[in-house]
Chains A and B, each alone.
Chain A
Amino acid sequence: MITALILTAIALFLGVLIYVVNRTVPTKVKGIEKTEEIAGILPGMNCGACGYPGCFAYAQALTKDAELILKTPCTVACQDPESLKRLEKALGITLDAAAMNRKALIHCNGNSEVIHNYSGVNTCKAAAQLLSGYKKCPYACLGLGDCVVVCPQGAISLKPENGVAVVDPEKCTGCGLCLAECPQNLIELVPEATKIAFLCNYKPLKDIPGREKCDTGCIHCRKCFKSCEYDAIVWNKERAIPEFDIEKCTLCRKCIEACPNHTLAEFTEVKAAAKTRTEATVG
């Protein structure tokens, strides 16, 4: 009897104590109204793709530095124009909704010739460590599907013809998990509004004898750069590859026609091709 009474008394006492503490400690913390507003807009699923331990921590970082959203954007919020608009308002900066919505693009045509017979561990990471891969181009997509496995959306599939991985932009949420997975560093996040896709991971092939680029690789002839009438292509001298200006590009497709090696493709075509394939594999 006494034990039950003691327990009840202590429980009651603690309950009252919590109530008192709750009432006496001030409820409002100064200076977090803005953080709370931003946190309200963020998806709140704490996925961690932004690199912060949760949506609230990300909101706190954004409160300190609004420009941060350009460097490490919340990819989930970027998929939805509505929440982007609210973020714009809360942060007081202008965001380019089309450029923020980013999709993974694999910079390889996959047409490089297979020159070695590889029968080792069935991952790109293992294959890339032996003789820089088994394809003629040491920078090519090896097509063993490390990125396919890691994609949480199932947006990446392998082309049956030549085994190159392709991303379906409709399923891709731009989380960027595949970027770290590719040993060849072929994957890049590009704005969804990209018009021309550059499908080569061109690097100078200096000291690797017997290796040449593939039939559809960039030979840095600059024909695309010269063919453009709208100054939409800028020649990147360091990497010797073309860079495309989304704003200026009118999608006249002259550069695609001009490219002797068919390294360029229309982004919408890449999309459509990927889409039909993922649907086919699902069906």
Chain B
Amino acid sequence: MSNLIAIFLSLAIINNFIVSKFLGLCPFFGVSKKLGNAVSMGVAVTLVMLIASLATWIINHYILIPFGVEYMNIIMYILVIASLVQMIELFIKRTNLTLYNALGIYLPLITTNCAVLGITLINAQESYSLIESMVAALGGGIGFTLVLIIMSGIREKLEIADTPRSMKGLPVAMLVGMLLGLTFFGFGGIV
């Protein structure tokens, strides 16, 4: 149990995907302008991470490892994640339009998100069990959402703040990202 908690906390806060692993930086700057969008994106990423971890764990354990072709995992995972997300999108679009609209453009966007590929590769690299990899995916997704929410809160304030003209928009967001990274660096050593 403590092992699971350690994995969860490690991926959610200490080895956070965005601020310490530098994965999924495009949504970090792309969809962190509004709080609502950030929450949608975070939820979509967490969902896809969970499903992708499940699918890739099965493929890793029943196909890649028995045949001794673990080196193929990157290409295999990209293939699996992309087609899985396509299927989920199709399913949601035709059954629950409200949810589809809430997730919006973000679902197809994260088919090739590096954070999603990253969690599956970490699971394979650390050779986590099924439950461990699901917890890792949940932790990674929640950490991702957390940072996106913090960032969007800051950026909503920055939008109305008196920023020098040359720093408006992305440049000042980069600086904020740096400070956020330093803050999360402070969590190092907890686990």
Residue positions of A touching B, CB distance < 8 A:
2-3, 6-7, 10-11, 14-15, 17-18, 21-22, 25-27, 29, 32, 53, 56-57, 60
Closest residue of chain A to B37, judged by CB? Answer: A53
Residue positions of B touching A, CB distance < 8 A:
59, 63, 67, 69, 72, 75-76, 79-80, 83, 86-87, 90-91, 93-95, 97, 101, 104
Contact B79 A18 (CB under 8 A): no
Q: List 19 A-B contacts (CB under 8 A).
A: A2-B69, A3-B69, A6-B63, A6-B67, A7-B72, A7-B75, A10-B76, A14-B80, A15-B83, A17-B83, A17-B87, A18-B83, A18-B87, A21-B91, A22-B90, A25-B91, A25-B94, A25-B95, A32-B97
Contact A11 B69 (CB under 8 A): no
With A25-B90, A32-B97 already in contact, the answer to whether A7 and B83 are too (CB < 8 A) is no
Closest residue of chain A to B71, judged by CB? Answer: A3
With A14-B83, A60-B101 already in contact, the answer to whether A26 and B94 are too (CB < 8 A) is yes
Closest residue of chain A to B93, judged by CB? Answer: A29
CA distance A17 to B79 in the complex (A): 13
Contact A21 B87 (CB under 8 A): yes
Residues of B within 8 A of A15 (CB): 83
Instruction: Tell me the smallest distance from the CB of B29 to a CB of chain A, in Å.
Output: 19
Q: Is the interface of B mostly helix, strand, loop or mixed?
A: helix
Contact A18 B86 (CB under 8 A): yes
CA distance A25 to B95 in the complex (A): 8
Closest residue of chain B to A121, judged by CB? Answer: B165
CA distance A148 to B165 in the complex (A): 18
- List 9 A-B pairs, minimum CB-CB distance, nearest first: A14-B83, A25-B94, A3-B69, A21-B87, A29-B97, A3-B72, A25-B91, A18-B87, A29-B94
CA distance A92 to B49 in the complex (A): 45
CA distance A17 to B91 in the complex (A): 12
Residues of A within 8 A of B76 (CB): 7, 10
CA distance A6 to B71 in the complex (A): 13
Contact A27 B94 (CB under 8 A): yes
- Residue among A29, A57, A60 having the largest count of chain B Cβ atoms under 10 Å: A29
CA distance A157 to B75 in the complex (A): 56
CA distance A245 to B69 in the complex (A): 79
Contact A53 B94 (CB under 8 A): no
Contact A14 B79 (CB under 8 A): yes
Instruction: Tell me the smallest distance from the CB of B74 to a CB of chain A, in Å.
Output: 12
Closest residue of chain B to A26, judged by CB? Answer: B94
Contact A10 B90 (CB under 8 A): no
Closest residue of chain B to A3, judged by CB? Answer: B69
